Amino acid sequence: MGVEPTVRDGLDRDETAALTALAARIRELTEAAVLTGAGAGEAAAVADELAALTARLSAVRRAAPPFTGTGESGIDRQIANPVAGTINPIAPPVDIEVTPDGIARAEFTLSQVYEGPPAYVHGGVSAMVLDQVLGMAAAATGNHGMTATLELRYRRPTPLGVPLLVEAKASRTEGRKIYADGAITGPDGRVTVEATALFVMPRR
């Protein structure tokens, strides 16, 4: 059971742009849903309208999330990725670049949708972001691996609603194993979360 891997539709630029705009509106909707004080009656009315919109989108449904046709690598093509994917409303999104010297980095801001402790980022969300960014740093070595271990050290709370920096780099490769380190840094320049991970290339 479960979801089978399957051939993916590729999106052209127009569809990518339209689905990216759709996801941006849904992110705004999510934040509005978390913060609204509209009251029970109005919330129920909006829920009915949203059900109709969902039905419109679902009228033509793919078997699996599409890839973008324009990305340079396999990772860049994962346009529905839950961390970096611009068409995925649950992605903040974190716009990750990989420098020529193999550093994966992004500046990003997390809204109150991602709150864990009051006023701070949920630790699992920080973990998700670091998993992706360390994974991309590992993949920059030319070896795409699955996360085998991800160790986190939460040094201080990560603030919501301000620009954060995330950076990672592969530290060493041993056969099918790639190790990477990274961190999230707050606007005051202090590290809030450190991460170390092992990625293992699956046996083909």
Ligand X SMILES: CCCCCCCC/C=C\CCCCCCCC(=O)SCCNC(=O)CCNC(=O)[C@H](O)C(C)(C)COP(=O)(O)OP(=O)(O)OC[C@H]1O[C@@H](n2cnc3c(N)ncnc32)[C@H](O)[C@@H]1OP(=O)(O)O
Residues engaged in binding ligand X (CB under 6 A): 67, 74-75, 77-78, 131-132, 135-136, 139, 144, 146-149, 175-177, 198, 200, 202-203
Of 3 and 55, the one with the shorter C-beta distance to ligand X is 3
Minimum CB separation of residue 185 from ligand X in Å reads 20
Closest residue to ligand X in the complex (CB):
135
What lies within 8 Å, CB to CB, of 200 at 6+ separation is 145, 146, 148, 176, 177, 178
Minimum CB–partner distance for residue 100 and ligand X (Å): 18
What length does the chain have? 204
Quote the radius of gyration of the chain (alpha carbons, Å): 19
CB of 161 to ligand X, least distance (A): 25
Find the DSSP H helices in the chain: 13-35, 40-58, 74-77, 123-139
Rounded Cα gap, residues 183 and 126, in angstroms: 10
Q: How far is the CB of 150 from ligand X (least distance, A)?
A: 8
> Smaller CB distance to ligand X: residue 46 or 127?
127
